[in-house]
C-alpha cells in the first residue's frame, strides 16, 4: 500500500504533502496538484490577459515552472495556489512586455491606413474590452498595488493569505486593497463602472 492510498480514507492530501512528493519526482503527485488547481490558474490567467489562448499558454508555463522549481517554493497555509498565482502573474507581465514591444515594432512598420480591419472589430467585443481595460489599468498601478490587485482582486486570494505571501500585516493588505480600488476607479476609462 502506498502512502497516497493510505491517505485516501482521510481525504485528499494537502498541497504541502503533494509538494513534498513532487520534490522527490512524483509524477502522480504533480498530476493531482495540476488537476486540483488548473481551473483556478486558467481563470486567473484569463482575468489577467482577457485571452483564452494566452490563458492556456500561461497555464502550461505556470505548471512547467512549478515542475522545474519543485520543492523550492514556499507554500502559504499549505496551499500551492497563491504561489501558482504569483508565477502566473510574473509570466503574464513578461509576456505583456514582450507583446508591447512587438506591437510598437509593427506600428512602426505598418502605416496606420493599412492596418487589419479584423483587429478593430475584435477589439470592440464589450466583455473583452472591459476586461482588457481593467488589466491595462492594473498594469499602470505601482508595484505594491499591482501585486495586491493581481492577488486579491483578480485572484480572489484572502487578505490573510496575501499578507503571508507578501510578508506584511492583514490590515496593510486591506488598506492596499482599498487604495488600489480607488486608483483603479481613477485609471479605468469612463470612471467607476
Q: How far apart are CA 161 and CA 167, in angstroms?
A: 10
**Does residue 22 contact residue 100 with C-beta atoms inside 8 Å?**
no
Stretch 71-76: mean pLDDT: 74
Stretch 91-108: mean pLDDT: 71
Q: Say what percent of the chain tops pLDDT 70.
A: 74
Q: How far apart are CA 180 and CA 20, in angstroms?
A: 36
Give pLDDT, residue 56.
92
Give yes or no: residues 107 and 32 share one domain: yes
Give yes or no: residues 181 and 99 share one domain: no
Give pLDDT, residue 42.
94
Give yes or no: residues 63 and 21 share one domain: yes
> Looking at the 3D structure of the chain, how many domains does it have?
2
Residue 32 in any domain: the answer is yes
Give yes or no: residues 100 and 193 share one domain: no
Give pLDDT, residue 97.
74
Give yes or no: residues 85 and 109 share one domain: yes
Residue 7 in any domain: the answer is no
Residue 3 in any domain: the answer is no
Mean pLDDT of the chain: 78
pLDDT (tens digit per residue) in 6-25? 544 577 888 889 988 988 88
Give yes or no: residues 97 and 168 share one domain: no
Give pLDDT, residue 48.
86
Q: Is the pLDDT of residue 76 over 80?
A: no
Q: Is the pLDDT of residue 159 over 80?
A: yes
pLDDT (tens digit per residue) in 19-60? 889 888 899 999 999 999 999 999 999 988 888 888 999 999
Give yes or no: residues 106 and 63 share one domain: yes
| CATH number of the domain that residue 172 is part of | 1.10.10.10
Stretch 106-115: mean pLDDT: 57
Other beta carbons within 10 Å of 108: 8
| CATH number of the domain that residue 59 is part of | 1.10.1740.10
| DSSP 8-state symbol, 62 | H
Query: 47 is written with which cell numbers?
Result: 482575468
Range of the domain at 145: 125-193
Q: Is the pLDDT of residue 63 over 70?
A: yes
Cα distances (Å, whole numbers) of residue 99 to 94, 103, 156:
9, 6, 26
Amino acid at each position: 500500500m502506498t502512502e497516497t492510498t493510505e491517505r485516501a480514507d482521510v481525504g485528499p492530501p494537502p498541497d504541502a504533502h503533494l509538494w513534498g512528493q513532487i520534490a522527490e519526482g512524483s509524477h502522480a503527485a504533480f498530476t493531482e496538484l495540476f488537476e486540483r488547481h488548473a481551473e483556478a490558474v486558467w481563470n486567473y490567467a484569463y482575468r489577467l490577459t482577457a485571452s483564452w489562448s494566452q490563458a492556456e499558454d500561461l497555464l502550461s508555463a505556470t505548471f512547467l515552472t512549478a515542475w522545474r522549481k519543485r520543492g523550492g517554493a514556499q507554500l502559504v497555509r499549505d496551499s500551492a495556489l497563491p504561489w501558482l498565482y504569483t508565477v502566473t502573474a510574473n509570466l503574464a507581465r513578461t509576456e505583456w512586455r514582450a507583446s508591447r514591444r512587438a506591437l510598437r515594432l509593427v506600428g512602426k512598420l505598418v502605416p496606420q491606413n493599412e492596418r487589419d480591419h479584423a483587429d478593430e472589430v475584435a477589439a470592440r467585443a464589450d466583455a473583452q474590452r472591459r476586461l482588457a481595460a481593467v488589466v491595462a489599468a492594473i498594469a499602470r498601478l505601482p508595484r505594491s498595488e499591482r501585486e495586491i490587485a493581481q492577488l486579491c482582486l483578480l485572484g480572489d486570494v484572502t487578505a490573510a493569505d496575501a499578507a503571508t505571501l507578501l510578508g506584511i500585516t492583514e490590515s496593510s493588505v486591506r488598506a492596499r486593497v482599498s487604495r488600489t480600488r480607488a486608483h483603479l476607479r481613477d485609471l479605468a476609462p469612463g470612471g467607476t463602472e
